[in-house]
Amino acid sequence: MSGVLRAARANPALAAALLLGLLLLAVCLLATVWTPHAPGRINMRLRFAPPSDVHWLGTDHFGRDLASMMMRGARNTVAIALSGVLAGAVPGVAVGIWAAARQGLAGRAVMRVVDFLIAFPAVLAAVVVAAVMGPGLGTAVVAIAVASVPVFARLARVAALEVLARDFVAASRAAGRGEGWILVSHVLPNIAGLVLVQAASQLAVAALIEAGLSFLGLGMQPPEPSLGRMLADSQTHLSRAPQLALYPGALLALIVLCFSMLGDGLRDALDPRGRA
Amino acid sequence: MQIARRTMLLLGAAALAAPRALAQPRDSLVVGNPVEPPHLDPTTHVAGSIREVVYANLYQGLTLIDEQGQPYPCLAERWDVSPDNLAYTFHLRRGVTFHDGRPFTSADVVFTLDRARGPQSTNANKRLFETIASVEATGPHTVRVTLSRPVGSFLYDMGSADAAIVSEATAATNTTNPIGTGPFRFVRWVRGDRVELDRYPQYWGEAPRIARVTFRFISDAQAQAAALRSGDVHVFPTFGAPELFEELRRDPNFEVLLGLTEGEVILAMNHRRRPLNDVRVRRAVTHALDRQAINEGAVGGYGRLIGTHYPPHYPDALDLTGMYPHDVNRARALLREAGVGSGFQARLILPPFPYARRAGEIVQAMLAEVGIRATIQVYQGPQWLSEVFRPPYDYDFTIIAHTEPFDFPNYARPDWYIGWENQAYRDLIERWFRAVDPAERSALAQQAQRMLAEECVAGFLFQLPKTGVQRRGLTGMWRNSPVQANDVTRAAWS
């Protein structure tokens, strides 16, 4: 942690990303317990209200408070992205390490499957999952996880192979340590940094997948707000109320940018070769 | 940086694809419908999406219904009616052939009507044929139909899509390869995308000006707007995004046609389930609904509010919208009285029509105000029909427009998806069916309207407006929709 702080001081982009990330996180946590108005509350008498001290950003085509919907929508996007990436990273890393330890036919076969999956566009994979499971919160998480597994599997395998070739692994083997112990005690800690960097970048992809699915009506269902659905709903109102698309779009871009910068910054901070 | 690159590529691709030449071939027409039909035989299926493609274009009846809702002679050139109104002798048009080349004769009429009223019939509107006592061919081009009792609407009924004349040779395969006598014949059906029809060269009547008509299926309102603007679709007879009307009206490329339909949009409640079988709960639901707000949000306020199941533009329609007005406190009190004061969980299943999805989101919020926690699920057309509209009737609430003319008797059907058990209403409908005197029919219909409203059999929302948008220069499309159909036989580019 102190290493990250030191790196942040040396790397202003990472510092900015961290600051932005903390701010977004605070908003998301706040949105869980409080929003200025109930986010799904419809009031047809207040359609397209301009910004005021009651409705900070105005209201949408159903008279819902835009600021509240964006806060809750951002919370949902971030929560789904986090859960999805976590749900993809755990099995992905496990498969990758397992395949690295097992150089035989089984390991190679698994990695061919992973290669095939990685060639499959992530959003398309997500749409297939959504078609099978039906729309909803679970679908978005599973879709992101499915899209993330191959990414983490490939990364973990390459990194694990490198670690397994090192001298201290050979020493452990000579000392009679079992394969499982080596994987958990040597390989895992040594690839953790890389996985973290990948996870941050993957979060950016995940946030876009979530927004995409919601945009298509396959993600979070009403009345729970979602940035993607706000964008979809705003389309036919563009000429009258462009802010309905502009604000959620900008917020989504900010979230993606934040995750992306976090990934880049962490890579610079954690990669010993990058530091040179 | 991978993301940024991908985004740029996508943006680039979109920019390249955007401005397409808006060339309009003068003799082809692309019609946009919201829902793809389950199959293409209207005589064995209730789906309106079938009628929106084939009615009058591909299949014809003894009569057909025109834009004013009046029947006119079609395959029957003329008819004689016996003085007791029981026997109809139809003189059939000569020189008519089906699209497979077979000549049309009285045998086809006998087959069609016997099939529709027979014990094996899967016709969605069997009641239209129940009063037929016998059908006999008295010559190759004359048919006598005898009724068991006078039916005031018989010639109208024969013009419905349910009574489309089909040939025995192709009846079994009409679902996928429809063969009719209309001015357009079937070419191909690309599942999930479109149905194509071509002008039938041997058509008996006046040839249509359009040589090829393509029906494309686009349910999403935004996608409809995009298809219209890009020129991919020339006309949406029921356009799903009414908030764009003002803008489209100002656009010299488009024309907006606002009219009436026979579609009552209702919030159906499943009477087979607790607690919706309790009239107090249904009244609470009705009190929870702000119809005007739903009308605005769902169809831009272009619909007309209804308080019962009857088109408000009929002369004998009663305005019952004030019977259970929007009153959240009254709704809560009724729920308490019914023993569900803390509200309940429910499933609101929506068909994919834009009006239903929009109304659904608003209704969900209104139900939440009084403590009814409804979760929304959007089904595709066939799934909605097979799970909600037919057994197992697996839903609590759903939103749908019932587009058939004079369909309020359906509430008397024990096998209907609503599941309302009310003997008094059934007796009333039986009397209405038998009544011939117009004044008596009106009085009975008004009694039925009142009964449906008092019992809050459903949440009656608004009359679906006909919201057509088309490219300027297209003529001959219907402004009103007295039957669910897109009759393109008179369409032309000027």
pLDDT for the residue numbered B14 = 45
pLDDT for the residue numbered A249 = 96
Stretch A234-250: mean pLDDT: 90
Q: How far apart are CA B309 and CA A88, in angstroms?
A: 52
Residues from A in contact with B at Cβ < 8 Å: 40-42, 44-45, 47, 61-62, 134-135, 201, 204-205, 208, 217, 221-223, 232, 235-237, 239-240, 256, 260, 264
pLDDT: which is higher, B412 or A138: B412
| Mutation target vs A (from B350, B370, B378, B399; most A CBs, 10 A cutoff) | B378
Across A203-207, B239-243, B408-412, least confident range = B239-243
To 10 degrees, what angle do helices A243-270 and B2-17 make? 150
To 10 degrees, what angle do helices A122-133 and A137-164 make? 130
Q: A154: which chain B residues are within 8 Å (Cβ-Cβ)? A: none
| Structural contact between residues A195 and A152, judged by C-beta atoms closer than 8 angstroms | yes
Stretch B282-299: mean pLDDT: 95
Instruction: Grade residue B399 by pLDDT with cuts at 50, 70 and 90.
Output: very high
Strand partners, B236: B469
pLDDT: which is higher, B437 or B477: B477
- Nearest Cα of chain B lies from the Cα of A190 at a distance, in angstroms, of 25
Q: How far apart are CA B120 and CA B228, in angstroms?
A: 43
Residue B17 has pLDDT above 60, yes or no: no
A42–B378 CB contact, under 8 Å: no
Q: How far apart are CA B147 and CA B167, in angstroms?
A: 23
pLDDT for the residue numbered A271 = 67
**B317-366 pLDDT tens trace:** 999 999 999 999 999 999 999 999 999 999 999 998 889 999 999 999 99
A62–B361 CB contact, under 8 Å: yes
Give the one of B4, B293, B377 whose C-beta lies nearest to A44's C-beta: B293
Q: What is the DSSP letter of B170?
A: T
The domains found in chain B, sorted by start residue, are 2-39+177-260+467-493 (3.40.190.10), 48-173 (3.90.76.10), 262-465 (3.10.105.10)
- Judge if the upstream peptide bond of residue A223 is cis by omega within 30 degrees of 0: yes
Stretch B410-423: mean pLDDT: 94
**Contacts of B282 by beta carbon, 8 Å cutoff, 6+ apart:** B269, B276, B455, B456, B457, B459
Q: How far apart are CA B152 and CA B406, in angstroms?
A: 13
pLDDT for the residue numbered A3 = 66
B376–A221 CB contact, under 8 Å: yes
Q: B361: which chain A residues are within 8 Å (Cβ-Cβ)? A: 42, 62, 222-223
| Structural contact between residues B142 and B136, judged by C-beta atoms closer than 8 angstroms | no
Stretch B196-210: mean pLDDT: 96
- Measure CA of the first residue to CA of the last residue in chain B; give whole Å: 53
Nearest CA in chain A to B244: A236
- Report the predicted TM-score, pTM, of the whole model to 2 decimal places: 0.81
Strand order of the β-sheet with B87-92 is B76-81, B87-92, B142-147, B132-139
B290–A44 CB contact, under 8 Å: yes
Instruction: Grade residue B449 by pLDDT with cuts at 50, 70 and 90.
Output: very high
- Nearest Cα of chain B lies from the Cα of A201 at a distance, in angstroms, of 9
To 10 degrees, what angle do helices A243-270 and A66-101 make? 30
Q: DSSP characters for B369-411?
A: HTTEEEEEEE--HHHHIIIIISTT---SEEEEEE-STT-GGGG
pLDDT for the residue numbered A1 = 56
| Alpha helices, DSSP H, located in B435-477 | 438-454
SS3 content of chain A, % helix, strand, coil (to 5): 75, 0, 20
Q: Which among B1, B44, B243, B41 is positioned nearest to A240, based on CA atoms? A: B243
Q: How far apart are CA B427 and CA B199, in angstroms?
A: 47
**B300-312 pLDDT tens trace:** 899 999 999 999 9
Looking only at Cα atoms, what is the longest distance across chain B? 85
**B57-107 pLDDT tens trace:** 999 999 999 988 889 999 999 999 999 889 999 999 999 999 999 999 999
Sign of CA pseudo-dihedral A137, A139, A142, A148: negative
**A89-139 pLDDT tens trace:** 999 999 999 998 887 888 888 888 888 888 887 778 778 887 788 778 888
Q: Residue type at B136?
A: E
The domains found in chain A, sorted by start residue, are 2-274 (1.10.3720.10)
**Interface check B363 vs A, CB under 8 A:** no
Sign of CA pseudo-dihedral B272, B275, B279, B283: negative
**A22-57 pLDDT tens trace:** 999 999 999 999 999 988 888 888 888 889 988 989
Pick from A235-244, B13-22, B125-134, B163-172 the range whose average pLDDT is largest: B163-172
Stretch B447-473: mean pLDDT: 95
B221–A236 CB contact, under 8 Å: yes
Q: How far apart are CA A253 and CA B11, in angstroms?
A: 15
Q: A256: which chain B residues are within 8 Å (Cβ-Cβ)? A: 3
Give the one of A41, A135, A236 whose C-beta lies nearest to B241's C-beta: A236
Instruction: Grade residue B3 by pLDDT with cuts at 50, 70 and 90.
Output: very low
Stretch B455-466: mean pLDDT: 96
Q: Do strands B87-92 and B142-147 pair parallel, antiparallel, or not at all (unpaired)? A: antiparallel
